[in-house]
Structure 1
Amino acid sequence: MAFAASLAKLQAEASCPICLDYLRDPVTTECGHNFCSSCIHQRWEGLQDTFPCPVCLHHCPDRSLERNTQLCHMTEIVQQIPTSGSQRKMQEEIPLCAKHNEVLQRGMFKRYMAALTSHFENVEKAYNSQVANTCKVKEKMGKWREEFDYECKVLNSFLEIEFDEIDNHLLREENDVAEKLIENGKQISYHMFRLNILLSKIEEKCLQTDEDLLTGIERIHNGYGNLETPAVFSCELPKEIFTLPPHYLGLHKMMGTFQVELTLDPETAHPELIMSSDRKSVSYRRPDGLPNPQALTSSPAVLSSEGFDAGRHFWVVNIGGTGLYYLGVCKASFPRNTFISPSASNGCWQHQLWNRSGQQKIGVFLDYELGEVSFYNLNNWTYMFRIADTFTEKIIPYFSIASSSESLSISISRVYDDNLYEILYVLISSHVI
């Protein structure tokens, strides 16, 4: 019984998984499975770059396979093994393939099914991951679209205001020029009237005798000798050339070129700050635990995980709720776990801001070599404030919430993708929007 089962297993191992017959001119794939040379090449017929193993679906690099001489000899030996009557009886009890008259390879099929099931599960996971990524991309693009739409509305609003200002200026200029032209016309008309009177009197004198002409010419000269021709008003209207304010082009180009991705450092977070799991935002809370020994314990503040010791860098801070907060930079050696108030004298350059309502978006631009930190209001794209000093070591972005601002939250993020910045910059440059 055991011999017959072992013989059946040996015959299965000496059989081709494709044709289920004894191996003929066997070859071995890179993954270690054996096939008839003709069977595997027939299975791969028409394939160009990918050659999967029929058993485990491993991708073989090419069609060239090495002939397994030892397995070939073993197969020949297996075929020559005689079977006794009892063995034949046992084999008769084992189900045979009606076509090939061989033992059914149930174990082999189970292996095929297990491999296919595993492969299917992997493909399903990849598909689900792709669906999730697609949803994330759509969500991200939707957010960018909203931001882009908001920016276009802000810019259109600015253009409408600018148009009204220019239109009103032109109207005032037109009225002023019209008044000056009317006044100048009156002066010229009056001058012409006086000239006509003078011509009439001179014509009358010309009809008089020489003696009367000589006695009256002096009076006529005294009356009209100093008559001056009024100047003609020159109407040269200056051409109004509309140009966008420098911050519209400068800020978008600045963000597209120097924007950096920041994450908050939990090791520096004050115990009264709650940090999100993605380390992108913090909000204030009442103290309820032991202080972090690395935290900036003098005020509810947190530093970025990233620091800069050269170059120019731009990051965006979103403010939610109402209250007082501080933004700036801090040198890497700023004293930790002390009650020293942050100031420029001890290496913390910060700017105090107040958010009264709604969402506020602040842009911070660091120029390390120039020693400047500039702040911009990205809600209306205006310059706010500048800190100037000399930086001699690594500088780290600094964020702080006043303890009285319980409803305030700070988050850091990118405004747009770099490609969207480029598109927006081109549209603004060409005055399309």
Structure 2
Amino acid sequence: MDAVELARKIQEEATCSICLDYFTDPVMTTCGHNFCRECIQLTWEKAKGKKGRRKHKGSFPCPECRELSPQRNLRPNRLLTKVAEMAQQHPGLQSRDLCKVHQELLKLFCEDDQSPICVVCRESREHRPHRVIPVEEAVQEHKEKVEDRRRRILVEFGKVGVLLEEEQQRLLQALRQEEEITAARLRESAEALEQQRHALETLLLRLEDRSQREPLQMLQDMKDPLSRKNSVSVQYPETTPTMLRTVCRVPGQIDVLKTFQEDVVPDPATAYPYLILYESRQRHYLSTPPDGTPCSKDRFLAYPCAVGRQIFSSGRHYWEVGMNLTGDALWALGVCRDNVSRKERVPKSPENGFWVVQLCKGKKYVPLVSSPTPITLTEPPSHMGVFLDFEAGEVSFYNVNGGSHLHTYTQSTFPGPLQPFFCLGAPKSGQMVISTVTLWVKG
């Protein structure tokens, strides 16, 4: 007898023939059959009212062999109790290993239906034309497929790692070259300025020397210095732009960030009274008219701003904002603490609970924090991505269309829960689109 048949036999011996489940408090009748105590008692209770049973008072037929057995002679079967407990705990003896239809062991695997079947199912009309293999072979094939997929994942991620490493080196090389070119131009400008300074100092010394002579002699000797003065012209060096052209663009990064994307929606209860919110999916205005509308404690009164309905206190979150703005647009975008000042104008900086970037007059795109080298873009992005990693203490901003990183705020921890933050500067600034909600300032 193999292990499977042995497990099947133990399972049969540990099963009550009345409830078809593992024995609970098993007892043995005088004829030697075993049942759950509660099952046999209920069976005998039902038999009490039947005709012809009164002459055998206190004795009832065994459900297995119909032999009369006195009820008082029921004996506990402690050994069978142990067997039932072992069968329940052993993973190979679970009911899931049996066919639900035929109560036979699931020894075969139907590849067409991708399900285990028993030998009786195999001969049925449903499975007869299907490809069927032993369960052990199916398990081995599955293991081989998993191992092959594991190797393929490692290979493909290895390829991506190599490509990312090559792209990283390319960007770093481009940045080094840009640094060298800019530094060389600055050195050339500095050398030209130094030469001009030296020439001017020499001329100044000659003039001072002649100023100490007698008036008549000084006038006679002025021809030479004046001619030198006319030959010396101040040459201002060409402006050397210090704005970096090499952008931080990691291939596939936006696709990875999108796995954390959430449906962020502005909260109309917090919106500035003249900030209009229109829900395109439901085709109606979310904000209320400003005339005669009472202002709640949550509403922004100092800026044309609103915050998202979501409050983040853990995890990673990503959302995108589309912008159709005019050339002189003023806007800010990012996250803020859930308890920032909404009635007074304060600098939108991390010290005041704002981690945002802004666009000023269509050209300057800067983080609102003291920085010697603010971020500047030649053109404002039309599609912005914001990524919050709460545990890491980071808020990052991306140009979605170009796939480039723009700025990251980093700190040890955030002081409390954060909310998405949106701000438009003035009427005719254009529109922001967050999820299905469009924002603009009423003129």
Q: Normalising by structure 2, what TM-score?
A: 0.34
Q: Normalising by structure 1, what TM-score?
A: 0.35
- For the pair shown, which has the larger CA radius of gyration, 1 or 2? 1
